[in-house]
Structure 1
Amino acid sequence: MQTKKFVLLDIDYVTRNQEPVIRLFGKLLGENEEGHIIVLDKSFKPYIYVIPSDPHCIPDCTHELSELKLISVEKVSRNDMGEHKEVLKVTFKHPRDIPKLREKILNLPSVEEIREHDIPFYRRYLIDKGLFPLNLVEVEGKILNSPQTSRKTPVKLVTKGSDNNQTPKSCIFQMENHPKPMDSSLPEFKFLSFDIEVYNPRGMPQSDLDPIIMISFSSNQGFQKVISTKNPPDSSDPNGSSLDFVELVADEKELLEKFVETVQSENPDIILGYNSDSFDLPYIRDRAAKLGVPLKLGIDGSPPKFTRTGFTNSTMIKGRIHIDLYFNIRRYMHLARHTLEHVYLELCGEMKLDIPGDEIHIYWDEGGSKLETLFHYSLDDAVAVTRIGERMIPLSTELTRIVGQPLFDVSRMASGRLVEWYLIRKSFQYQNLVPNKPSPSEVTQREDVHVVGGYVKEPVKGLHANVVYFDFRSLYPSIIISKNISPDSFIDKQEFNRDDCYVSPENGYNFQKEPVGFIPSAIGQILQDRVKIKSLMKESRDDCQLHILNAQQEALKRLANTFYGLYNHSTFRWYSLQCSQSITAWGRDFLKKTMDDAEKQGFKPVYADTDGFFATYVGTMDEGTKPTEYQVR
């Protein structure tokens, strides 16, 4: 058998001979290794958990399930909200069998409930195999093809920093044993950013009418190019700006063919765009379909896959991680406007060339200096996306390595979903059953319930001297950990030993002191990891290492700060009104008591909000102390 090591970029599954086959897409690492690999694993099968209506019904339940032509039915022990249960692990032949048989299983007389039936097959594989995307994986097996570089007809690309005219084939590898996850630092990934310009004399571009006239590219390795269907103006004047980054093509069809060739020859790990999920790639798809151009952008030669969930579009390119930075920016940056120009100025501190969208056709038609400006504008767009990506991607990559889901998914997930998938992975490690998603009626019922928030003291008006600020570090996460607030530690009983429980103020909810609850344990691990990383940051003098460590601690901070709000989020699997109410009750109690203690020490609170307060010092100050003034209006 042969051994291959690769960085896991993406994952999916296909059906071969009526059986599911997992595909792992990766970036090869090692001596004399380059390019990408597709690893096939046909050994993994989907499964769910079945909870019998009564522990004594397990034999009957097993018999009823065995008549459904399943692969296996196995009795296993699992934890369910602090309660130990004997349940049945039911394994299916194919993921599509689960939705087909789900209702039939639920209707069996001996079945009370089914669990984990809604975990996608590829995510189930990552969790069960302990694989984390963007980490190193070692596999053993055999090569199914000859992964040599195939030289196509040379493409005349006038580039900066790249003269690669080869299209690498991906190594197809049949896995024979279990994949072996390995610890590794994050390798350098190759980014390729792109942007399109459309001829739009009628206003908003219409893909059935308006052609693409330019496509620009930029990579984090120096490659820059604009492909155009119009020849650039003569810039032979020594004082003129160079347009050697522009390549002329005959028509739009050739433009789209060059787009595909450029992606193949540059062979990026990550493809970046700005609003590319909703505009650039769907527009390219429509124009390519109209002109008969195959969009073989995936490392397996597949076209992009377009999906729509609610009001959100996404475009997946197999084996290459497509990230629409617009979604990331909207999630992490609170700006008045989220145009590429405004974001670039905010992140990079530089103005980029801007042309109003409804004037692009004017610049195109006028030619001359106007057209030259349009070429530079198009290239600037792609370069700006690359530079923004270099600043934004590190946070997403660290979240990926923590949560354990593909970067493509993580870059499109809200914070709550990131936490939920983090907990689903932890549930597997702790042998906990994952709660089901709430039904629509449960969601509606939860949305009607409101929880009292943090304590707010109205500001004392006036000009205050000698102002200090008291702040609780990670107040709500700390309360969850210190008071063991978790659905599985909550005791809904009249009789209990007060010494064995934490009792929340105001509402009197009881939480067992031991054992440590599932969610406090998960948050505790996150905070411990963050403390370790911040300690390393204090010791480090390496700018590159500091950049990586800062992204890691920021990712952990975002996860930790998300937990509290999820307890009261209507769609959260671990929803608990009692937990949510208790956290804020303890928060109000701690803040008020701290303010009382501060007053005894000579501080007069003038304003408070949730996890901190401002106070003036009215006691005696040491000589030489410089007072601080704070205006409260």
Structure 2
Amino acid sequence: MPELRFYPLDIHYSVREGKPIIYLFGRSAEDGSRVWVHDHSFAPYFYIIPKAVPAGELAKELAEFSQDRAGRAVKFTRLLAEKKTLGADAVSAVKAYTEVPGDVPLLRSSVRGLPHVSEVLEADILFVKRYLIDKGITPFTLCSAQGTWNKSDLDIPVFDAEEVREAGTDIIPTLRILSLDIETYSPFGTRIEPEKNPIIMAALTGNGFSKVITWKRFKTSKDYIEFVDGELELLEKLKNYIIEFSPDILCGYNSDAFDLPYIKTRAEKYKLDFAVGLDSSSLLIGRGRYVTTSIAGILHLDVFRFIIATMRTSLDVPSYDLNSVSLELLGKGKADADLEDLPKTWDNHPELLEPYCEYNLQDALLTHELLVKLLPNIKELVKLVGTDPFDTARMSYSQLVEWYLIRKAHHAGILVPNKPHHDDITDRREHTYEGAFVFEPTPGLFSNIVVFDFRSLYPSIISAHNISPETVNCPCCKDTAEKIEEKSGESLWFCTKKQGFIASVIGEIILQREAVRDQMKKLPEPSKVLHARQMALKTLANSMYGYMGFFAARWYSLECARAIAALGRQYIQHLISQAEKEGFRVLYSDTDSIFITLEDKPKEAVNAFIAAVNKTLPQIMSLKSEGFYTKGLFVATKEDKKDMSGAKKKYALLSQNGKITIKGFETIRRNWSPIAREVQSTVISMLLTKNDPDAAFSYVKEIIARMRRHEIPLEQAIILTQLQKEIGAYDSIGPHVAVARRLRDRGKKVGPGSIIKYVIISGTEKIRDRARLP
């Protein structure tokens, strides 16, 4: 029987002749050609827990069970009794197979009411994800298929597989990546209206290919600019270039919600079938909580969605627009062009359009470079979580954790809890718990600061104390386990006899990350792959605590979340006490770290303190030094000098090598003007590097005087704020809402998502009444 070795990249399924077929689009490991594997071997199923009867007896009853759907008898195709684990208990379950995935919801809801059915589980795990988990197949990773080649009317060969399995750990060596960006005729400040406003430019770039297509002609020496005779021809060219390039990945920046849906809408206006899918299908727009756009056989990755979902907490940027993210990650930004003038230039001065074409291409180039830089992170998350790349790159932290747990549960024979119902979520939202301990800072400028933090505090607590939903308050350890006393008078404890599921999983993650970091230290040069791997492991580990307290989690446990937070407070408070006993002055503490001053102590005292603390901690936990800082600035929250309290999560530090770290200040916020951000950053720098408050004060007074003399360029005073909802939905009218009202009254269409640009003029009225368009 012929064998095909290939790398799966994009996964879908279809139903043909009453049977489900898994579609795996990928590339041959032999010659890199496109392949389309059809796997007929996998059937949908879910689990049914019996009540008052053995699983075998329930299986016999279910064999006769049937429901009618449009004249078709919907019934189980196979029923197996299996031993499983549910929570802390061993159970017998019936594994119930159905004919097609669409039968699962009907049979699930129908059998729930049967007298011998206790519970239905895993019926909400989608078919493609179920396939990947059960088969142990990881996208991007080498697979082997046994089957036969089949004729196809399409340009891609079809391999009908009887069996597909993973064939090792090799990752696809190269990927063809095409980046897309469009510019539309959209007057600044108005709503995006794809039904009305045309696409006037479209840029593509990747693997040495670059093209900007536009339909207004002008003189240019740029060979990447191609002129066409109208928007329809632009769309046709765009479609043909995508097909000819044959990308493995098509990427964009906000392409889920903007570029691709816009293209689809404009194509439909001209009755153009934008069929770029490898099965000749068009763009598929999904409209759930977020808009998503998929293409059969081409992996569409929205870099913006990945940044927002997975990297937002690690980026120090004023906003997540392409320019800010590119400056942070690539060290370069967008081309210089004023998009506000593009519609007027398009209408009246086509000879001035070349800079906008450069701008369009630069956006596509930046997006391409960002994806290349971030692709190792996406690949490592896919390897860990085991879901398809399209979904993985759009998952929130809680979703990544949940699918990782689902995969681990399957391999451990543990049944996965159901998603909570609406009533459960409503109830869970009403229950909160006390969070981390924060030691309020003393405002001022301090010298010789050391920052300590616990390595992976919450993950370590979960592992060290065996915290998992099925181990909390177990009856077997009620009299022997160490108790966590809560303010309510309740006690929490965790099993000491049997390791919990989540505790074991997170323990493995911690050890895996340690091994990867050790491996990285031995290498002569940094490894992007290993760095991405340890970051993926860190992401999962650090998200586990929040996941258990998340109202929509399958493995939700308020008791676990409360216990983790309580133990975290206990460890940090004990650390503060130990530091003070050793003669250190504690300046600030937050969650898992403390800031101290050395006072008159030598630096060697720090290592001795760390060693002493670590002797008192569970083996998997440890304290480490984050570094020495020559200066640190902590600020007050109130102007009343009689009651000055320190601001939490708001400080600036100067390291020994001169690097300034700023947390919590407005230097990175978009809704502050550039001049305000610059002044604050400069003042902080002057205080830390020169220790000269008088000079900083004089600098601020000089800037204010220059503002009053109108010597500061207007663009330095512009504030950008995004509308979060409809104008009429705002109870409190801020300056950006006031300006949005004026725009609306002038006939401009503004709404949620519109960026409002304004300045504040001098005067005595309320700030909102002094907000003006620049």
TM norm structure 2: 0.74
Aligned to 2:125, which of 119, 142, 148? Answer: 119
Helix, strand or coil at the partner of 1:11: strand
CA distance in 2, matches of 1:513, 1:170: 57
Aligned to 2:543, which of 559, 562, 583? Answer: 562
CA, structure 1 residues 173+511, in 2 after alignment: closer, same or farther (shift >3 Å)?
Answer: same
Helix, strand or coil at the partner of 1:298: coil
Aligned to 1:213, which of 200, 216, 219? Answer: 200
CA distance in 1, matches of 2:260, 2:582: 63
- Cross-structure match for 1:319: 297
Helix, strand or coil at the partner of 1:183: strand
CA distance in 1, matches of 2:605, 2:540: 43
1:137–1:180 CA contact under 8 A, matched in 2: yes
Aligned to 1:580, which of 545, 561, 568? Answer: 561
- Cross-structure match for 1:246: 225
Helix, strand or coil at the partner of 2:171: coil
CA-CA distance at 1:60 after TM superposition: 4.4
Is residue 2:456 matched to residue 1:474? Answer: yes
Is residue 2:162 matched to residue 1:176? Answer: yes
List aligned pairs for 1:285-296, cutoff 5 A. Answer: 285-296=264-275
CA, structure 1 residues 468+336, in 2 after alignment: closer, same or farther (shift >3 Å)?
Answer: closer
2:144–2:164 CA contact under 8 A, matched in 1: no
Give a deviation string over 1:571-592, Cα, whole Å, max 9, x none.
Answer: 1000011111111111111112
List aligned pairs for 1:146-545, cutoff 5 A. Answer: 169-200=155-186, 203-219=190-206, 221-233=207-219, 235=220, 242-310=221-289, 312-331=290-309, 332-333=311-312, 335-367=317-349, 369-493=351-475, 496=477, 498-499=479-480, 501-506=481-486, 507-543=490-526
Helix, strand or coil at the partner of 2:494: strand
CA, structure 1 residues 459+205, in 2 after alignment: closer, same or farther (shift >3 Å)?
Answer: closer
Unaligned runs of 5+ in 1: 148-167, 236-241
Helix, strand or coil at the partner of 2:159: strand
Q: Give identity over the alignment, percent.
A: 36
Helix, strand or coil at the partner of 1:128: helix
1:468–1:614 CA contact under 8 A, matched in 2: yes
CA distance in 2, matches of 1:60, 1:376: 68
**What number of residue pairs does the alignment pair up?**
598
- Cross-structure match for 1:599: 580
Once the two structures are overlaid, the 10-residue window that deviates more, 605-614 or 178-187, is 178-187
1:502–1:513 CA contact under 8 A, matched in 2: no
Once the two structures are overlaid, the 10-residue window that deviates more, 395-404 or 347-356, is 347-356
CA-CA distance at 1:429 after TM superposition: 0.4
CA-CA distance at 1:120 after TM superposition: 0.5
CA distance in 1, matches of 2:453, 2:603: 23
CA distance in 1, matches of 2:403, 2:442: 44
CA distance in 1, matches of 2:376, 2:164: 29
CA distance in 2, matches of 1:623, 1:489: 42
1:137–1:182 CA contact under 8 A, matched in 2: yes
CA, structure 1 residues 21+432, in 2 after alignment: closer, same or farther (shift >3 Å)?
Answer: same
CA, structure 1 residues 618+375, in 2 after alignment: closer, same or farther (shift >3 Å)?
Answer: closer
Residue type at the aligned position of 2:7: V
- Cross-structure match for 2:632: 630
- Cross-structure match for 2:8: 8
CA, structure 1 residues 451+135, in 2 after alignment: closer, same or farther (shift >3 Å)?
Answer: same
CA-CA distance at 1:204 after TM superposition: 4.2
CA-CA distance at 1:389 after TM superposition: 1.6
CA distance in 1, matches of 2:385, 2:569: 31
Helix, strand or coil at the partner of 2:163: coil
Is residue 2:611 matched to residue 1:611? Answer: no
CA-CA distance at 1:248 after TM superposition: 2.1
CA-CA distance at 1:414 after TM superposition: 0.6
- Cross-structure match for 1:50: 48
CA distance in 1, matches of 2:261, 2:432: 41
Residue type at the aligned position of 2:632: Y
- Cross-structure match for 2:674: none
Give a deviation string over 1:23-47, Cα, whole Å, max 9, x none.
Answer: 11112222xx223211111121111
CA, structure 1 residues 90+206, in 2 after alignment: closer, same or farther (shift >3 Å)?
Answer: same
CA distance in 2, matches of 1:463, 1:286: 57
Residue type at the aligned position of 2:337: I
CA distance in 2, matches of 1:630, 1:227: 52
Give a deviation string over 1:558-616, Cα, whole Å, max 9, x none.
Answer: 11110001111101000011111111111111112222222332223232211121223
- Cross-structure match for 1:158: none
CA distance in 1, matches of 2:629, 2:187: 63
CA-CA distance at 1:424 after TM superposition: 0.5
What's the C-alpha RMSD, in Å, of the aligned pairs? 2.4
CA, structure 1 residues 439+464, in 2 after alignment: closer, same or farther (shift >3 Å)?
Answer: same
CA distance in 2, matches of 1:627, 1:265: 55
Helix, strand or coil at the partner of 1:402: helix
Residue type at the aligned position of 1:264: I
CA-CA distance at 1:402 after TM superposition: 0.9
CA-CA distance at 1:327 after TM superposition: 1.7
CA distance in 1, matches of 2:344, 2:365: 23
- Cross-structure match for 2:645: none
Give a deviation string over 1:402-453, Cα, whole Å, max 9, x none.
Answer: 1111111011111100110010011100000000111111111111111111
CA-CA distance at 1:97 after TM superposition: 0.7
Unaligned runs of 5+ in 2: 67-74, 607-627, 636-774
CA distance in 1, matches of 2:161, 2:562: 50
1:232–1:246 CA contact under 8 A, matched in 2: no
CA-CA distance at 1:509 after TM superposition: 1.2
CA-CA distance at 1:463 after TM superposition: 4.7
CA-CA distance at 1:58 after TM superposition: 5.0
CA distance in 1, matches of 2:587, 2:447: 11
- Cross-structure match for 1:131: 137
CA-CA distance at 1:466 after TM superposition: 4.0
Once the two structures are overlaid, the 10-residue window that deviates more, 588-597 or 462-471, is 462-471
CA-CA distance at 1:293 after TM superposition: 1.5
2:516–2:533 CA contact under 8 A, matched in 1: yes
2:143–2:164 CA contact under 8 A, matched in 1: no
CA distance in 1, matches of 2:603, 2:180: 61
